[in-house]
Amino acid sequence: MKPLLEIKDLHATIAGKEILRGVNLVINPGEVHAIMGPNGAGKSTLSAVLTGHPAYEVTRGEVYLRGKNLLEMQPEQRAREGVFLSFQYPVEIPGVSMTNFMRTAVNEKRKYEEKEPLSARDFLKLMKEKRALLEIGDKLQNRSVNEGFSGGEKKKNEIFQMAMLEPCLSILDETDSGLDIDALRIVAEGVNRLKTPENASIMITHYQRLLDYIVPDLVHVLADGQIVKTGDKTLALELEEKGYEGL
């Protein structure tokens, strides 16, 4: 099987400070990986580097998505290739409606894939269908992107966008933080239903809690910029019990 994502010896810095110090990771289609680790280990840096955040500089290493060099691409091209980040802190964009935002995003991706843009009717139908998946009301589409959304609404909105864009690689950065148990269940069910044999996801999380709902194939522990341990789902339980110091 050809890997979906290959990360080789990835080093990255922010403002001259080295955060990632040689990350190696292979993700195959159909897999769910969890990345756990203490604060400051580099978990969010990894998601920022994979999506091309301009504040981070890659100083060494390579990343391939379906064999294509990801690090050479602009953030928007990575997104169109199918990399999706569910933000830890989704950004509010006053004055830009969810509908306009989402229609632009969906049609940019279709253009990249040399498909015709969706008609207004088909687009609204798609929005409705995907909203139902996340139990989001129809008020959302007239509102500005994330503006005035509660913490739970923001996270649901991230997974809603993921459902609209059908990425091949989803990175869920602390998606469980700030969610009550009902919102967590809805978000997790959404993610589970979007799973196919062709796509994969990376869940970045502090806690075992999310992994009760979305069961990972592999769990990695990131510490001090490197993956120091990899195991199956029982590793997460072990970490919950013993803490990161117990490794």
Partner 1 sequence: MKVSKGEIFERVFLNEPDIDLHIVQEAGSRVKIHVINLPGDARDSRTSRNSITIEQLGEGCTTELYGLAYVRGDEKVETETHVLHSVGGGESKQLFKFVLADRAQGGFYGELRIAKDAQKTRTEQVNRNLLLSREAQMRTRPQLEIYADDVQASHGATTGQLDESALFYMQQRGISRTDAYRMLVAAFLKDVLDTLSDTHQREELMDAIDRVVE
Which residues, including other chains, have CB under 8 Å from residue 121's CB and lie 6 or more apart? none
From the list 71-79, 127-135, 174-182, 206-214, the region that binds partner 1 by CB under 8 A is: 71-79
Q: In the set 13, 45, 141, 161, which binds partner 1 (CB under 8 A)?
A: 161
Smallest distance, partner 1 to C-beta of residue 9, A: 25
Pairing state of beta strands 5-14 and 17-27?
Answer: antiparallel
> Which among 178, 151, 176 is positioned nearest to 90, based on CA atoms?
151
94 binds partner 1 (CB under 8 A): yes
Q: In the set 104, 150, 192, 196, which binds partner 1 (CB under 8 A)?
A: 104
C-beta of 30 vs 151, nearer to partner 1: 151
Q: Quickly count: other Cβ atoms within 10 Å of residue 224's Cβ.
A: 13
54 binds partner 1 (CB under 8 A): yes
Phi-psi region of 146 (alpha: psi -120 to 50; beta: other; left: phi over 0): left
C-beta of 110 vs 233, nearer to partner 1: 110
197 binds partner 1 (CB under 8 A): no
Pairing state of beta strands 200-204 and 218-223?
Answer: unpaired
85 binds partner 1 (CB under 8 A): yes
**Per DSSP, what are the bridge partners of residue 164?**
none
C-beta of 93 vs 132, nearer to partner 1: 93
Write out the E strands in the chain.
5-14, 17-27, 32-36, 56-65, 68-69, 83-86, 93-97, 144-145, 169-173, 200-204, 218-223, 226-231
Q: In the set 9, 57, 76, 180, which binds partner 1 (CB under 8 A)?
A: 76
Q: In the set 16, 67, 95, 197, which binds partner 1 (CB under 8 A)?
A: 95
CB 172 within 8 A of CB 199: no
Contact residues toward partner 1 (CB under 8 A) are: 51-54, 74-76, 79-80, 84-85, 87, 90-96, 100-101, 104-105, 108-109, 112, 144-145, 161, 165
